[in-house]
Every structure is written in C-alpha cells, then in structure tokens.
Structure 1
C-alpha cells in the first residue's frame, strides 16, 4: 500500500510615432531687402542653414519615434503577459558542492537554509509539511496534499530555517502531480535551492532528504536511490488520480516530510518527497519502513513553470479510461472505454485494447500506463504498442490536455 506521508496534524494539503517637443521655428534663410535699399544690402549677409540639416532632423525624428513606439509596445506586452515563467524568477542550477563531495554534513549545510516548514490551517484543523525555496522571487514548492485543505479560504504559513514565520498564499497547485507553488512574504532574500536532475541519478548513489517529519523542522536523513521510474499513486480514496513516476529511496521519510526536497550529494534537488510505502494494518498509521518516493525534479520544473505563467497546471490525456485493477498487473494496460471525439478515438484505439508499451517502454498495468503518459507533455505525439485479437500494432496518439 502506498500512502502520502500526511502532514503532522489533522490533514495534509506601431503605434504612430509621437512628435517630440514643440514645432520647429521658421528657418533662417536669405531675407530680401526693399527695392530702394542699396544694392550691397539687397542680399542678406546672414549665412543660410546648410541644406543637409533638414533631412537629418527628419531622420532623427523618425528614429526617435520608432524607438519610442517599440519600447511602448514592449512594455505593453510585458504588462499584458500572464506571468513570468520559471526561467525568469531567479532559479539556481549550479551545483553547490564539488563532484567529489561525500559529506552529508556539507549537503545539509547548503540545503537547510533553503528548506522550510509549511503550516496549513482551516477552521479547527491544522497540519504541517515541508517545502523548499524555489527562486529569488519568494516562491516555495511543496506538495498539493500539504496545502489542499487550506487552499480555499484557509491560512498557509512558511517557517524558515531561522524560525521566522512568513504568511503565504497558494499561487497554483496540481492535484494530478501532487505539487503546489506558494508565494511567501519575506522569502525573497533567502537562498534558493539548486535544481538538479533525476535522470542522471544512478541506483545506489547517496541522497539526502530534508523536511519537518512529525513537525520536527530542519531534519535531515540520508540513504540511497533504491530505484527509478517507479510508477506509484499517492492519492487516498478521495484523491485517486495523483500518479507519479517516482524516485524511490530508503532515506527516512515520515509524516511531515511531504513537500521537502530530496537532494543529491552535490547539493542539488532531484525530487520532492511525497509518499511512503506501508505494509497495511497497524503499520499503515506508522512512518518510515525504508521505502519512500519522490516526484522527479523534471516534473516539478514543468509544473512550477506552468503555474507561474498561468496560475494553473495542465497534464496530458488520451481520452480513454484505463483499468487499474491489480488482477491485470504484468499483462499490460486494458483500455476499458475510449471517449467519443478523443485523441484515442481519432488514433484508432478501441475498447478492450491491451497497451503493452508507450514510446518503446513496456507498461505492465493501468497505473504504469497513466504514469508513463504523464511523463510527456500535451501536444506530444506518442506511439502506443497495442495488442488486439492476437495481433500487435502501433498507434500514434497526439496527447490532449486537461487542467489539474
């Protein structure tokens, strides 16, 4: 059984150029004298303005007008933009530590100042989770299930490494990827965590988990990468569509760790701690048994960028229902229903088709199929290997999208 390490508490969650200045005064030129004036006075002794000056003035006015118009248009475009993406908010990607580092203490020294505790409350309910500073603009990443219950009308606060409490608001969240982006007052000056890559991780290499397990802020645990690309669902019965292609670790993760960073030995965030495995029964209410899961940082970047730009996150869909019952495990993913007008229908996918691979990667059940699809982006064209009536064929589907 996979469950979220719920927060420690009752719940987790061309415009025309404008002339510059006044009109030019009448030009000086040759001024005729009255006919009775002496002949030597009939021509002006005042020198005339060179003939080239007027084209130059006209050209300068044109250039200034075009520049002004372009600047104005650029400013208007900036003001009309929905928001700045992840690349414009002051993120960090350089590894804080050298490649040869082997000290967990050094990693802790780098990341603890960027790790926060997240407090969420709504009515009489309250809970706690974790998060990390995303950029220099005051944004914090955490899990959706940490702030979900307080996202609409509740109160969210962030506690930094010095114990200072900052009021925060939810910028946007994704139930599907179990991620949320917060904006916290006073966090702009904090050092953002360096964002790394989960793709480059090797099974067996060391990682460090940060967070506030059981409300114990600024806690560090260490372990290794136990597996990669582990398809799991982090949802409860009321939130059954949070599927992730997880990094598995044996670093201790407990209730309250949710939303905290999983970090490589060079001090780069490679995932967001989000779920733990339990054996059921009494242990379903306990904590770490050495099997924890983190959302890969690649997905965190994509979702955070979407939220910062538009305030919402999107995920890819094919427009078909998938059978996720355990009895279909290892055989492939059974398509139980293809929706009318969907990308799946347009591609020729049919009810009861058995999907055995997506873009060359084998899928063993419905959850694996959903997770695999969600590693792509809306608009991508993906090849599905399908078995139908004893025959195997390839179906290309251009993924649609939904908000979630």
Structure 2
C-alpha cells in the first residue's frame, strides 16, 4: 500500500495501464520491473487545470510526507565506472503509499494544461499515493538527512528571485534548428562526476547551469551517494576543465538536486522555458553525457505529457513525476541533463527511461521511451532548496492501494489528525479524481497530489459504498 505521507519524487507505480508500455524503466536509470507508468492523465471534466503548484490559499498551513521511489536514473553508477545509471531498475512498489502532491508556480499561463500529475519512481511500490517513505513510514525521512549543506554559500535567501536566471535564449540566425539549439545549450550543460572514495558508490551524470552565480541543476540520484558519504563531486565543463561542487540541497521525492560550483566559469546559464506549452509531436533535444560521452546531443519529439512515472532506488524515498515523455535517445549518463525545445529553452530535466531489460543484468539503454521532470517542478523545488537547503512535498496523511476495479485509488488507512482525517476521508473510500484530474490508481493519485503545493486545498471525488461525494482537503507537507 502507499503511505500518503511518504515523500515522493521517485517511485514506480502499479502495473501499467498501457498495454504496450515497457516493463522496465531506468533513470537514465531503469524503471522498476513492475509497470512504471500510467496512461497520460486525462481530466474527468474540462481541460482547464491549475498551474503546477498554485500559491497556497491564505491561512492554509502545509505539512507533508514522503513517498516511495521508482524508476532509475540514466546516470547512476558506481564511482569511476564511467557508465551512469547502472544498478538495474527499481522494484515497483505495490500496496499502500502515502499520498502526496508537490509542485509550484509554473510562472506561465496555466490554463492550457492540467496540473502535472506528478512523477513516480518508487523502488518498492508504484502506488505510493500517500506522501511517505518507501519503507512505509508515514512520517517521512528525518529532516537532517536532507540538509546536506545548510551553511552552503550556494544558498539564496530570496530563492529563485535572488539568482540571475535567463528565460530567453538568443539563438543564432538558424533559429529553430537542432544545430542552433546545440550551439546555445552545449556550453551551459555539464558532466557530473560524483565519487565516494573506496566505495562502490557514486555516479556519473549530467546537469546544467541555471544561473550566473554557479548553481547547477541535476538529479538527486546522481549525487545522492556522494552526498550521504562525503564523496567528492566534480562538474566538468565543455572544455574539459573540472570544478569542485557541493550540494546546496536535494529532493529524493522529486529526484532533483541543486549544486553550487566553486569558482564557476563565466558561462551563460541555460534559458528556462515552460513544459506546459509543449504539444505532443513537438520537436525536443536532449543534451548530456550518456555512457560518459560528454556533450552528446540527441533529438526527438514529445511523445506524451503529464505521464505519471515512479522511480526510486534502494531504501530511499520514492519519486513520483508527472513526466514529459520523449523518444529522444536518453541513456545512462543523461540523467540530470536538459530537455530543450527548439527555442533553446529547457522544458525538463531528463531522469528516467523505460527499457526491455538486459541479459547482462545491467541497463539495456534507450528504446525510445524517456521521461523528463517538467521545468515547472524544477523551478519550485530549486526555489525551496535555495531558500532553505531542503524541499517539501504535499501529503494528505493516508495510505492507498489501487482499487480492484481499476477505477480509482482505494484509501487503506487514515493517519489520525491528518488532512485526510480532518477532511472526512475514510478507509474504504475510492478516490476517482483530484479536482478535475481523473485518478485510475494509486500512483496517479500520488502524482496528482504532488503537483500541488503544501497548504493548497484540493477537492477529492470519492466513491463511498456506491455514493459519489466531493471532499475538500488542505494539504500538509513533509521534507523530502
């Protein structure tokens, strides 16, 4: 079952509802063997959804929990291996997960698309709708576990507003071509080497400069082992020069991390766009260091949007993401690199891939099904990390599983005093929608919740003994 209080940015979900969906996903690790993704979300009514994480309503507090983790990232590997993402797919979690939702202001027009449903990357269960830990803990991970660099010089009291970011990409004359995008983004994209001395831990992945102060965005799974074991983290620029970096903060739930590069070179940061404006079939470009091959550029299209995906590894928090799906070639090592539109703007952070498995027990690589974390979620999480050195995600305080009918998420348990309890949810209720977004299983519920901000009020459509009703719940929050 899914613990609604479990942090979640990386965790697999229940069996895929799409018959042709691959059975394995890798972050630019692989996704768990269990079905890792749910069908692209569809609203139960109307197509207008609030933005990724609307501002919390006045007077609403927020407390959250974390959730299970799922699919693997493309770049996770042992130190010095040169191949990110190895280690096999994460097990898909089944059973009750804490229901959580995370997200933040997208900063763009949010009326065109539904809220991002969230991402799923748990290692044990894909249905972690409840914000909680993969291990089933309702309270979430200890706060100090995530405060890797509370005194980091990379912190900004004003968050995103306090750093020098870019939104427009001044492309050359051949604007709109893949070559122009590559020329613009390659200098801003870096390879990341995260090593742990005398340990078979560490990873190699990708990232990109988000501002002129030296902050780099990447995946949590790329730097997680190094952060936990005092390992060295190096950022390799396009010219091959290496720079020391430290973790400002990271989120296992959203599989994101912010690094601060000491003595950063004078590099123009990547321009940040909006995934909400993406159209299925639109051309996109993936940039990174697959298999240790730095400055690699691949292209493809947007295959789907709002695709619930879960990933995670080991006993860490599950990640649930409302991913942008693409067929651009993404492989181990691409994790943390940018997914870019033809305007030269970053619309997502490459994080997971689906694979058919490998006879060698490793990752089989690209099969044209890759997933990126929407840039709107990246903005929200990075803002929290820059301000506080940690990120928070929304929770309702309930555990959930997928209803046997396949028509919703079954509330398995309610935490006393939680938002779910205060709102009137009861064990046995089947949640079929969050606001106007349809819920078909526990992962889609978790994802839908995590695309909101703590303190926001959401409306759950519930089936109770055959009677349909709407229940308002104000989201709490947890660190993760």
The TM-score normalised by the length of structure 1 is: 0.79
Instruction: Give secondary structure in 2 for the equivalent of 1:118.
Output: strand
1:299 aligned to 364, 368, 377, which one?
A: 377
CA distance in 2, matches of 1:398, 1:390: 25
1:12-161 aligned within 5 A: 83-97=157-171, 101-124=175-198, 125=200, 126-152=202-228, 153-161=230-238
Q: Which residue of 2 aligns with 1:231?
A: 308
Farther-moved stretch of structure 1 (393-402 vs 233-242): 233-242
Within a 5 Å distance, the mapping from 1:3-402 to structure 2 comes to: 3-6=26-29, 7=75, 9-10=77-78, 83-97=157-171, 101-124=175-198, 125=200, 126-152=202-228, 153-187=230-264, 189-239=266-316, 241-280=318-357, 282=359, 285-323=363-401, 328=404, 330-402=406-478
Residues in 1 aligned to 2:405 and 2:382: alpha-carbon distance in whole angstroms: 32
For residues 286-322 of structure 1, what are the alpha-carbon distances to aligned partners after superposition, in whole Å with 9 as ceiling and x for unaligned? 1000000000000000000000001100000001112
- Note the C-alpha offset of 1:123: 2.1
Gap change, CA 1:391 and 1:290, over 3 Å in 2:
same
Contact 2:423 2:472 in 1 (8 A): yes
Q: Which secondary structure state, in structure 1, belongs to the residue aligned with residue 276 of structure 2?
A: coil
Aligned equivalents of 1:280, 1:387: Cα separation in 2: 38
The structural deviation recorded for 1:329 is 7.6
* Cα distance between partner residues in 2 of 1:329 and 1:198: 33
Kept in 1: contact 2:249–2:258 (CA 8 A): yes
Report the 3-state secondary structure (helix = DSSP H, G, I; strand = E; otherwise coil) of the residue aligned with 1:199.
Answer: helix
Contact 1:278 1:284 in 2 (8 A): no
After superposition, the Cα gap between the structure-2 partners of 1:328 and 1:222, relative to the gap in structure 1 and judged at 3 Å, is: farther
Distance 1:335 1:279 in 2: 32
Residues 328 and 270 from structure 1, CA distance in 2 versus in 1: closer, same or farther, beyond 3 angstroms? farther
Distance, in Å, in 2 between the alignment partners of 1:162 and 1:188 is 11
Question: TM-score, normalized by length of structure 2?
Answer: 0.67
What do residues 103-129 of structure 1 show as CA deviations (whole Å, max 9, x unaligned)? Answer: 100000000000000000012334210
User: Match for residue 25 of structure 2?
Assistant: 2
8 Å CA contact retained: 2:331, 2:365: yes
Secondary structure class of the residue paired with 1:246: strand
Report the structure number with the largest CA radius of gyration.
1
Q: How many residues align?
A: 335
Could you list the runs of 4 or more consecutive aligned residues of structure 1 that deviate by over 6 angstroms after TM superposition?
A: none
Question: Per the alignment, do residues 375 and 147 of structure 1 end up closer, same or farther by CA in structure 2, a change over 3 Å counting?
Answer: same
Cα deviation, residue 236, structure 1: 3.0
Q: Would the aligned equivalents of 1:383 and 1:395 in 2 still touch at CA under 8 Å? A: yes
Relative contact order higher in (CA < 8 Å, ≥ 6 apart): 2
Q: Give the CA RMSD over aligned residues.
A: 2.0
Partner Cα separation in structure 2 for residue 10 and residue 329 of structure 1:
42
The residue number in structure 2 matching 1:77 is none
Aligned counterparts of 2:164 and 2:438: Cα–Cα separation in 1: 38
- The answer (yes or no) to whether the contact 1:96–1:268 under 8 Å persists in 2 is no
- By how many angstroms is 1:2 displaced? 2.3
Shift of residue 284 of structure 1? Answer: 6.2
Change (3 A) 1:330 1:100: farther
- Judge conservation of contact 1:5–1:276 (CA < 8 Å) in 2: yes
User: What CA distance in whole angstroms lies between the structure 1 residues aligned with 2:405 and 2:25?
Assistant: 16
Structure 1 unmatched ranges of 5 or more: 14-80
Query: How far 1:281 moved relative to its partner?
Result: 5.2
Give the match's secondary structure for 1:312. coil
CA deviations 1:45-78 (Å, max 9, x no partner) are xxxxxxxxxxxxxxxxxxxxxxxxxxxxxxxxxx
- Which residue of structure 1 aligns with residue 39 of structure 2? none
CA contact (8 A) 1:131 1:140 kept: yes
- Tell me, yes or no, if the aligned pair for 1:353 and 1:386 is still in contact at 8 Å: yes
